[in-house]
Structure 1
Amino acid sequence: MSRFRLLWVALLGLGLVRCTVPSLEDLWREKGFCAVGDEDCGMLRIRVDAQGFVPGCLRITARDGDRDAVLSMSIPYRGTERAGRTLTQGFSPPKDWGLGVTVTVDGFEQGCDGAAVANQQLGFVLREGDISDLAFLLRATDADGDGFVSAATHGSDCDDANPAINPAATELCNFQDDNCNGVRDEGIPVGETCIASNGCTGSNTCGENGAVVCFAGPIVQYAWADEDQDGYGDTSRGQVPVCTTELPSNRLPLSAPHNDCDDSRASVHPGLPELCNRMDDNCSGDTDEGFNVGTVCADSQTQCVGLFECDPSGNRTYCKPNSAPPTWYPDDDLDSYGAPDGGIASCARPDEGFVPQSGDCDDGNPFIHVSAPELCDEQDNNCDSLVDENGVCVGGVPSWDTRVPAGDGISLHAASVYGDGGVWVVGEDSTRMVKTPGSKVFSVLPGACTDGASPQSLLSVWAHPQTGVAFIGRDQGKLIVQTPESANCTPRTLLSSSSATVMGLQGVLADGGVDIHGVVTDTAKGNGGTFLWNGGLTTISIKTINTTQFRGVYGISPQVMFAVGGSVSSSIYRYDPDLGFWRADGTAPSGASLNAVHVVNPKLAYAVGTRGTLLRWNGAWSPVSGFNSPDANLTGVLAFGTHSIYVTSDDGCIYRYDGASWRVVRCAASVYGIAGNRPDDIWAVGRFGQVTHYPGWPQ
């Protein structure tokens, strides 16, 4: 006995004296079944052998003889190192079991599921402190050794003499049930029509080694294949065999044409007209010849560059743009925001009247569009459905506030705005007054604008938009230059006719200076005329126009400038900057003389006159529909767009159009002039020295 063993026995004896140590049997009974392969464990050594087959799995079940307690374990067998040997499995009944147990061993074909193909049950009474053996022998038949037990011994192998036949086998074409599912040759097209290797039609049958073969009769003749039956044989397949004396409908005699390049389409064969469909319709070897498919083009509607593509009809091409075109929106008021409707998809801008963004809820007023600043003008300027919000009306509700800065004994004839809030006003008795930007009151300048004793009438004024210098026209053929600081009515410039009255002035900034276009009426000579003044003192020559007495001039550039007048009928002239003279506009309607004109933008202008005449120019002059005051003598017009127009009259009324309707906004003393560069800064002047401002007097 080794020293280690002696030491262990001594320690065990000492332990028995001092305390109780669990026995090995107690430890076994805590486990029940021992670990698989541990043959030195357990009170009962269960030994299992198999005869006639090799189980895929073994299941051992132990039951307490005194009650229904059960323990079970499954042990893989075939394919492990235990296969072919006696399997020994240790077991001890738990401490709460009796010593009488019943053991059942089940053997399975494959895994431990389904039904067992063999089993045996034995009972045994164990003895404490003893180790017993219990032998089992499972019998089943696997004669062909394919791992599946014969159906005759409760297995699933339907032919235990052939290892190629079992439930795991692949079904072959051999007229037998290879996979033991009760059906022969399932999923195999036996008997179906087929084409044999010689090209003849036959039927499928089973050949050697389970292969499917097509059996057909002998070749009788050769022909051309014509599967689309268009009368042209398939050039790619060559001569094909036919197994009948009579040719089928999809075969042609060898004398027939056989140059069909697509035998799947009857619409494709030599001699047909070529279509635009990405196919070689006439078998010429080319596709869509004559249609220029893929070449660069410009779409006629969108002006976008693209490539020619086939039209769905196949008879023509169309230009497919390379990218989606942007949308352009009509912008009649030229505020760079287009109306939400009427958009045109185009790569090129349709014309100058279109812009790439919409957002204009009123395309007749340039002061109304999305993101526009809100003004005090009784309009929704920023298209948010609110009017005059955010406290823009400093003086309260908008009104036409009238005051008399220079006394009520004179008539005021003209006004001209400049800068941000500046305005000049001129009239009878040499009246010149100015409100500078930021000021709330007018300054009346001193001095009589005459060489004699009688003050003269000042009938026209144009203020430099940046400097505020005023260029003034008067009767008796003179021009005057004034600043807000002028202490007298000089300097003065003479016209070539001392009887000419300057009825209108319009300046244009040019080369660091100004070009001022003027119009006159010469009652002494019974005619009118025009002149061009640079603001200097040199005598200005008048270009006489015998048939017209002018009353007004207005323009935004030399290219868009009109002069109006007439004694008994309307007369309109337009300046030609290339030739340097005024040309009569033949589109002016007759019937009334004209008093004033206002140019809104390069595409829009308005003119007014006697008999309630209101004309609009958008390339040609025509009456404005909707305005109805046939007896009024209209004296002035101011417009910001087709939906924002102001007209003054000799009877003292001011008419306003907001895009929806005309209405009278003020009626008092006669109004002779109106000016403004935005809807919330409008000045009107007239009889009795009255000066009116909208939307209220400057605060």
Structure 2
Amino acid sequence: MSRLRVLWVSLLGLALVRCTVPSLEDLWREKGFCAAGDEDCGMLRIRVDAQGFEPGCLKFEAKEAGRDATLTATVPYRGTARAGKTLTQGFSPPKDWGLGVTVSVSAFEQGCEGKAVTAQSRQSTLREGGVSEVAFVVAATDADRDGYVSVATGGSDCSDELAEVNPGAAELCNEADDNCNGAKDEGLGLGDTCATELGCMGVKVCGQGGAVTCVAQTEQAAWADDDQDGHGDTSRGQVPVCSSTLPPNRLPLTAPHDDCDDDDARIHPGAVEVCNELDDNCINGTDEGFGIGQACTDPTYQCVNGRVFCGRDGGTQCLPPATVPTWYPDDDQDFFGASDGGVLSCPVPAPGFVNQRGDCDDGNPFIHPNALELCDEQDNNCNNLVDENGACRGDGPTWVSESVNNGGPALRGVSLFGDGGVWVVGDDSTRAIKPSGSSSFTVLPGKCTGGTTQRALYGVWAHPQTGVAYIGGDNDILTIQSPSSSWCDPYKPPSASGTTTSLKGFVGNDGGVLIVGVGSLSNGTVGGSFEWDGGIATVPVQSYSGQPLFGVDGVSQTLLFAVGDASGRSNILRRSGGSGGWVPEASVPDAGALWAVDVVNNKLAYAVGANGTFLAWNGATWSIGYGPVTNDILTGVLAFGSNSVYVVSANGYIFRYNGRAWTQFSVGMSLYDIEGTSPEDIWAVGNFGNVFHYPGWPQ
């Protein structure tokens, strides 16, 4: 390419570039109103000063001369950085406008809406490439500086001297037009029905500080006294009363305000404290002075570890412990009580009660749970079985006899000692012993003649440890025998002649013995009693005219009975304490003469005699008991309990009571005495030297 052509292309490019660059006027005419605060923008500078108030907003309007084309702009003023200063607003007319324009400025109190406070217009002719200016001064009065111009200067502030009064203010209850809407206290409901703070009905009125308040015609404050005891309720403050007179359950504020329970008129300061689990006198304590919770003795169950508590009558009671023992009657004294009849008590309610129940037969001490099963035709261990687990040997329990002197003289008395030892005595000075561990009797030699007559022996008592026998018989004989005795020279300690019919002995703590004897004197017309220490010294005999005695028994030196005949009727004497004297028992039934007595325990004894007489003692009185139905002479009695009784008779019967019925066993000969250590170790003696044992003969 030639240099001329290159130069022409270059000049053509420059020409084209220069034709596309707009002029400054072109750029201004594109803007219209400039951004607020941009003073260097546009062909026209519009300057505005505000006097006497701060407009909330300024509104600018530009209109092309001779045409209707108009442009507007709104500019915030109050609250901006320009507030209080001259505001300059730039303007450039559009390209299609001419250079003659009319500019207007309107000032508003708040936003650029509604009626302007003031408005001004200026005409201006613009010039290309130059900047023109036009100045405005907008003036109005806002004396209270609340942002609202006075009505007199074109604004809406109806009271320009009070900043709190203007169209934007909240209407107060003050009989004034606070919001300049031409009305006073509107929308506040003045005169409407309302409830006061105390709850009384009233009407709404203006109160202090322009607030609406509710006022009742009559109301007052009081203390609540719902229980009407003259003491106000401390749990409640002042309560309203909407009348001039207080009702009965309200008190004036001058009354005491100290009631801790306004539902109970008995409770208030000054009241008497009652044991009721309440604070009667309002001293922040309950039942003070009554010892609540302290240990006490419960009167019902006699529990010493009870605790004091309030009773129903306002006094105190003793609350027993949560668990009170139950005691059951133990009539047979085997330490197992009956299954019923339990008594709640902390101490033993009475002698004869135990805290173990379940005895299936409380009249037999050899029958109770876990008892040893005996060969006695009974359920000893309460398991509903009889004589189980080999309790019996041979064919089962029965009465077995042996004659100790080959069918000789009758045997009148029997006594047991040690573990299976037996003494028997009888007519013709008969004395025989079965030592412990032996199965047979040995008859001792020698006669108790005391002179020329061989005496009959009736009573015998064997020392339970030594086995020494103390024996009494007719013609005032008393003797002491041991297993090795070969003679029977009698001691004669009684001071009166007669027949010793029965003996009962006791071993003292010092090892000595006390033997109590009874008998008949003067050929059976007088009774006698004596006490013997086993020595040879003479002891006095107490006589009882017309009352021969035939039997004596007891469980201690202070509980002994002697029985006999009082003109064919029952006679019972009781040993009086430790003095050795005897006194008649009161209220003895009018029955036959008594031959024998057995004292079982301190609540049970039996006495038997002529014509089937059977008497029972319950620890207090004697009565006719449930005995065998017979007119036989009952000569001996043995009892282990009220349901385990054995009686022998002159006609040769052994009667047995098991708590349900009497049964009888005939031995075919007269029987005179019976003794035993348990229902499977019972001995009876009778005619022809016979000894009977139940449930079989000892092996």
Write the letter of the residue equivalent to 1:635.
Answer: T
How many angstroms does 1:639 deviate by?
Answer: 0.5
Contact 1:476-1:498 within 8 A present in 2 as well: no
Residues 1:500 and 1:226: Cα distance change in structure 2 (over 3 Å): same
Structure 1 partner of 2:633:
633
Partner of 2:441: 442
Shift of 1:468: 0.9
Note if contact 2:607-2:615 (Cα within 8 Å) is conserved in structure 1: yes
Structure 1 residues 470-479 or 581-590, which shifts more? 581-590
2:537 equivalent to 1:538: yes
Task: Specify whether residues 243 and 412 from structure 1 end up closer, same or farther in structure 2 by C-alpha distance, changes over 3 A only.
Answer: closer
> Which residue number in structure 1 is paired with residue 505 of structure 2?
507
Q: 1:494 aligns with which of 489, 492, 510?
A: 492
Partner of 2:371: 372
Q: Does 1:471 align with 2:470?
A: yes
Cα deviation for residue 397 of structure 1 reads: 1.0
Shift in Å, 1:561: 1.0
Distance 2:242 2:532 in 1: 109
Match of 2:316 in 1: 317
Alignment of 1:327 with 2:326, yes or no, is: yes
1:226 Cα offset (Å): 2.3
Structure 1, residues 432-482: CA drift from partner, whole Å, max 9, x if none?
111111111111111111144543211111111111111111211111111
Q: What letter matches 1:318 in structure 2?
A: Q
Residues 290-309 of structure 1: CA distance to partner in whole angstroms, max 9, x if unpaired? 86644543211111132331
Q: Is the 8 A contact 2:222 2:241 kept in 1?
A: no
Structure 2 residues without counterparts, runs of 5 or longer: 1-193, 202-211
Two-structure CA RMSD over aligned residues (Å)? 3.1
Superposed, 1:115-264 pairs within 5 Å as 217=214, 221-226=219-224, 228=226, 230=228, 232=230, 234-236=232-234, 240=238, 242=240, 252=250, 254=252, 257-259=255-257, 261-262=259-260
Amino acid paired to 2:513: V
Structure 1 residue 674, shift from structure 2 partner: 0.5
CA distance in 2, matches of 1:445, 1:237: 103
Q: Does structure 2 retain, via aligned residues, the 8 Å contact 1:594–1:608?
A: yes
Code of the residue aligned with 2:594 in structure 1: it is L
Post-superposition offset of 1:262: 3.2
Instruction: State TM-score, norm by structure 1.
Output: 0.65
Contact 1:612–1:632 at 8 Å: present in 2 too?
A: yes
Structure 2 equivalent of residue 25 of structure 1: none
On the 8 A contact 2:308/2:317 being kept in 1, the answer is yes
- 1:218–1:243 CA contact under 8 A, matched in 2: no
Does residue 359 in structure 1 map to residue 390 in structure 2?
Answer: no
Deviates more, 1:280-289 or 1:361-370: 280-289
SS in 2 for 1:423: strand
Secondary structure of 2:611 counterpart: coil
Distance in 1 (CA, whole Å) between partners of 2:255 and 2:466 is 94
Q: Per the alignment, in what secondary structure is the counterpart of residue 552 of structure 1?
A: strand
**Length, aligned pairs only:** 491
CA distance in 2, matches of 1:682, 1:472: 20
Q: 1:570 and 2:562 equivalent?
A: no
1-structure distance, mates of 2:249, 2:500:
102
| Map of 2:662 onto structure 1 | 662
Contact 1:228/1:263 (CA < 8 Å) preserved in 2?
Answer: no
Show the counterpart of 2:341: 342
2:633–2:651: 8 Å Cα contact kept in structure 1?
yes
In structure 2, relative to structure 1, the CA distance for the partners of 1:222 and 1:548 (3 Å cut) is: same
Indicate conservation of the 8 Å contact 2:494/2:530, yes or no. Answer: no
- Confirm or deny: 8 A CA contact 2:200 2:242 kept in the other structure: no
**Matches of 1:449 and 1:659 in 2, distance apart?**
43
Cα 1:247–1:286 shift into 2, 3 Å? farther
Mapped to 2, the partners of 1:623 and 1:229 lie a distance apart of: 67
Asked whether the equivalents of residues 222 and 240 of structure 2 are also in contact (C-alpha less than 8 Å), the reply is no
Post-superposition CA distance 1:623-680 (Å, at most 9, x none) = 3443253511110000011111111111111111111111113342111111112111
| Residue of structure 1 equivalent to 2:653 | 653
Which letter does structure 1 place at the counterpart of 2:380?
N
Letter in 2 for 1:363: D
8 Å Cα contact 1:224-1:258 kept in structure 2? no
Cα gap change, 1:330/1:298 in structure 2, threshold over 3 Å: closer, same or farther? same
**Residue in 1 that maps onto 2:51:** none
For 2:620, give the aligned amino acid.
Answer: A
Q: Displacement of 1:324 after TM fit?
A: 2.5
Question: Which residue number corresponds to residue 42 of structure 1?
Answer: none
Q: What pairs up with 1:543-558 in 2 under 5 angstroms? A: 543-558=542-557
Q: What does residue range 88-107 of structure 1 map to in structure 2 within 5 Å? A: none
Shift of 1:196: 11
User: TM-score with structure 2 length normalisation?
Assistant: 0.65
* 2:424 equivalent to 1:425: yes
Shift of 1:277: 2.6
1:350: Cα distance to partner? Answer: 1.0
- Aligned partner of 2:374: which letter? L
User: Taking structure 1 as reference, are residues 625 and 518 closer, same or farther at Cα in structure 2, changes over 3 Å only?
Assistant: closer
Counterparts of 1:247 and 1:263, CA distance in 2: 25
Counterpart Cα distance in 2 of 1:693 and 1:575: 32
Q: What is the CA–CA distance in structure 2 between the aligned matches of 1:333 and 1:672, rounded to whole Å? A: 26
CA distance 1:578–1:244, change in 2 (3 Å): same
Cα deviation digits, residues 515-567 of structure 1 (max 9, x gap):
11111212437312111112222334322222311111112211111111114
Q: Which amino acid aligns with 2:425?
A: V
Q: In 1, distance between residues paired with 2:361 and 2:213? A: 84
Q: Give yes or no for the alignment of 1:415 onto 2:414.
A: yes
Q: Give SS of 2:491's match.
A: strand
Structure 2 CA distance for aligned equivalents of residues 249 and 686 of structure 1: 104
Query: Aligned equivalents of 1:231 and 1:621: distance in 2?
Result: 64
Q: Distance in 2 between matches of 1:487 and 1:607?
A: 36
1:677 is paired with a residue whose SS is strand
The alignment-based identity, stated in percent, is 45
Q: Which amino acid aligns with 1:310?
A: C
Q: What is the rounded CA distance, in whole Å, between the counterparts of 1:234 and 1:498 in structure 2?
A: 97
Name the SS of the counterpart of 1:611 in structure 2. Answer: helix
Separation in 2, partners of 1:565, 1:394 = 40
Contact 2:675/2:683, CA 8 A, preserved across alignment:
yes
- Indicate the larger mover: 249-258 or 301-310: 249-258
Do the aligned partners of 2:684 and 2:691 also contact (CA within 8 Å) in 1? yes
User: Does the C-alpha gap of structure 1 residues 606 and 358 become closer, same or farther in structure 2, counting only changes over 3 Å?
Assistant: same
**1:678 aligned partner:** 678
The offset of 1:260, in angstroms, is 5.3
* Counterparts of 1:532 and 1:625, CA distance in 2: 30
Distance 1:198 1:681, change over 3 A: same
Query: Does the CA contact (< 8 Å) of 1:676 and 1:683 recur in 2?
Result: yes
The 2-side partners of 1:269 and 1:535 are apart by 81
